[in-house]
Amino acid sequence: MDVLTPGQVVTASPDGLLLAAVRRLMRATSDEAIVGVLIDAVRDLGGTVISAHHQRGSTLRIDLSLGIGEPMLADATDPTVHERLDRVLQPLVDDALLAILRVASQPSPGSSDAVDLLTGLGGWGATMQALNRLQPGDAIALFQLENLKHINDYYSPETGDQVILAFARTVRRAARAADSVGRVSGTEFVWLFRGTNLSGAESALGRLRGLWQLDRPYPVTFAAGLALVDASGPNEAYMHADIAVENAKAAGVDRSMVSR
């Protein structure tokens, strides 16, 4: 990639730059490094970073400092660059805030599966820990993204990663603070509901489908399986949810099944 001067319009794909920035966020090990990723992203996209004291009409009012030190804002006098920053910067800042929480939680060394490096969601290890905390009456939903291979083959694996990242953000929006959401394989996600009965989990799943219809960058659908935790325990419920996903896939596209 050519080196950009401040204000120069970027020729690389904004989605590619955004994905690269998200990957750097998920590998950052300090608050300062996370803020640095935001600053680099603004510059890579052709904008400049200015002090909040010098803001003007072309300045976007999004604090890149994340409350760490003096507020810093992105600025772009070029309309194309301004529109690009306006589109991608807030989702990137949201991911940066998630990375701040991850750094603060300080996962134990060697827990490489604690955080999924693409989405920032819990990985397999973190999801299994959260699963074991579920009690009878809680619920489990498993999701598998469908027709993603077509996106990878027709466009690129990077485009497929963008779809995965968008889905992760949509699930986070739909989930409550008490819930846990994880990515446990390439196209498989888990949503663990605390203190939610089966009816409430079904309603949340319907809300997720509505949000995904609006958020998805490509017409990628998902199969879902839902199960209630009973006296048999959460691991048994996880297996029932997994079976429900397979039944949903067998029934067609964009389906949900509930294990009763």
Look at residue 138 and give its three-state secondary structure: coil
The strand order across the sheet containing 222-228 reads: 180-183, 188-193, 139-145, 222-228, 256-259
Quote the DSSP letter at residue 157. Answer: H
Would you state the pLDDT for residue 2?
32
The residues of the chain scoring below 50 in pLDDT are: 1-11, 108-110
pLDDT, position 230: 93
Q: How far apart are CA 60 and CA 86, in angstroms?
A: 7
Using CA atoms, how far apart are residues 92 and 44, in angstroms rounded to an integer? 13
Q: Which candidate, 31, 30, 32, 64, places its Cα nearest to that of 47?
A: 64
pLDDT at 19: 82
Contact 126, 115 (CB under 8 A): yes
pLDDT for the residue 69: 67
Q: Which pLDDT belongs to residue 129?
A: 86
| 3-state DSSP assignment of residue 112 | coil
CB atoms within 10 A of CB 147: 15
- The predicted structure's pLDDT at residue 36: 83
Ordered by start, the domain boundaries in the chain are: 14-105, 124-259
CB within 8 A of 67, min separation 6: which ones?
none
C-beta separation of 147 from 138 below 8 A = no
Burial environment of residue 157 by CB neighbours within 10 A (0 to 12, 13 to 18, 19 or more): exposed
DSSP codes joined into one string, 110-159: T-TTSB-TTT-SB-HHHHHHHHTT--TT-EEEEEEE-SHHHHHHHT-HHH
What's the pLDDT score for residue 248? 95
Q: Which two tokens stand for residue 126?
A: 């973190």
Q: What's the CATH code, domain 124-259?
A: 3.30.70.270
Q: What is the pLDDT of residue 106?
A: 55
pLDDT tens, 211-234? 999 989 999 999 999 999 999 999
CA distance 224 to 242: 9
Distance (Å, rounded) from C-alpha 130 to C-alpha 125? 9
Q: For the chain, how many residues are written?
A: 260
Q: What is the pLDDT of residue 247?
A: 94
The SS3 of residue 190 is strand
What does the alpha-carbon distance between residue 202 and residue 205 come to, in Å, rounded to a whole number? Answer: 5
Q: Are 136 and 229 spatial neighbours (Cβ–Cβ below 8 Å)? A: yes
DSSP code for 177: T
What's this model's pTM, rounded to 2 decimal places?
0.65
Residue 113, pLDDT score: 66
Report angle CA 234, 111, 156 to the nearest 5 degrees.
Answer: 90
Query: What is the tally of helices (H) and strands (E) in the chain?
Result: 8, 8
So what's the pLDDT on residue 98? 84
